[in-house]
Structure 1
Amino acid sequence: MVGINVEGCIFCDIVEGKAPCYKVYEDELSLAILDINPFSKGHCLVIPKRHVPWWHELTDDENASLFGVAKVVAERMMETLKPDFVCMYARGRRIPHTHIFLVPTYVGDVLDRFFNALELFQESPPELTALRGEVSMEGIAELLRRSQ
């Protein structure tokens, strides 16, 4: 099932075979390809075959497929490329078609330094520090638990 695709979307074009890619793995609902602007050797994108802007808008089957394909590819990266870990994050803003970044990451490389800097930033500004307080944490947790 490919479903509805959007004209002019590079990922939809890749799924339909209208644009070239370096396919790494796929199943019925998702496709893993090498990123053409890699952060590191083996950097892949995992995309749903149906055009969906945000990962939380995927069907349950599509979501399971997307993260299942990501797991298979990450395991292959760990086995063959031997990174310290595989960084994973979901995107969809610049190209409004859900995609998961899978980036083999090594201690001290660009991505590792970026996330270390981000974690240090997260610990310091007063507005973020305030979020760690018990009242704030319980209030946010309660909001999310009640949300439907």
Structure 2
Amino acid sequence: MDKVEEKSCIFCEIVAGRAKAHRIYEDDLTLAILDINPFSEGHTLVIPKRHVPWWHELNEEEVESLFRVARAVSQKLMKAYSPDFVAIYARGRRIPHTHIFVVPTYRGDVLDRFFNALEGFQEGAADLAKLAEEAKLAEAADRLKGA
């Protein structure tokens, strides 16, 4: 990564200590910080310390660290907030530096409603139902195995 890219990335600035963040947990490869636009109290972002735009471009050691830290943060959230569930998901389109959202969720909150709606869409849409047919599943499996 060049210095221009690093300076334009807020997560790189946080990792380097040049930007403020509430650090929750870290190891040699990964940092967990509170999200400044939280979905719920305790919403945490888990980021690799190395600038990598997409999580599938991380090396094996970074992937292991990223998910180990996400698990540790999830355990902290369960202990501190007693949520119904801790949701984790990767997004990264707005800030092109791999990050995992780790969010305590509660029945009826914004993420619970979103994921329930998404699951309803997944289970009910005719176009998506076609993807569950055995022939399409077998085709997808063959395609992925050959990739």
Give TM-score, length-normalised by structure 1: 0.94
The whole-number CA distance in structure 1 between the counterparts of 2:131 and 2:110 is 28
Question: Which residue is 2:61 aligned to?
Answer: 61
Give the counterpart letter for 1:86 in structure 2.
Answer: V
- Distance, in Å, in 2 between the alignment partners of 1:138 and 1:32 is 38
CA root-mean-square deviation: 1.4
Unaligned runs of 5+ in 1: none
Counterpart Cα distance in 2 of 1:76 and 1:125: 37
Instruction: Check conservation: 1:40, 1:103, Cα contact below 8 A.
Output: yes
Residue 77 of structure 1 deviates from its aligned partner by 0.7
Aligned partner letter, 2:140:
I
Structure 2 residue aligned with 1:13: 13
**1:48-82 alpha-carbon deviations (Å, 9 max, x no partner):** 00000011100111111111100001011111210
- Matching of residues 108-119 of structure 1 within 5 Å: 108-119=108-119
What residue is the counterpart of 2:49 in the other structure? 49
Question: What is residue 25 of structure 2 aligned with on the other side?
Answer: 25
Gaps of 5+ in 2: none
TM-score (norm 2): 0.95
Task: Tell me which stretches of 4 or more aligned residues in structure 1 moved more than 2 Å.
Answer: none
Equivalent runs, 1:1-148 vs 2, <5 Å: 6-147=6-147
State the shift of 1:125 in Å.
2.1
Q: Distance in 2 between matches of 1:77 and 1:84?
A: 11
2-structure distance, mates of 1:77, 1:124: 33
Structure number having the greater helix percentage: 2
Q: CA deviation at 1:30?
A: 0.3
Percent identity reads 60
* Cα distance in 1, alignment partners of residues 112 and 141 from structure 2: 29
Secondary structure in structure 2 of the residue aligned to 1:36: coil
How far 1:88 moved relative to its partner?
0.2
Question: Deviations 1:7-58 (Å, cap 9, x if unpaired)?
Answer: 2100000000110000000000000000000000100000000000011100
**1:54, 1:91 within 8 Å by CA — same for their partners in 2?**
no
| Paired residue secondary structure (1:46) | strand
Q: Which letter maps to 2:100? A: I
Alpha-carbon separation, structure 2, partners of 1:120 and 1:23:
36
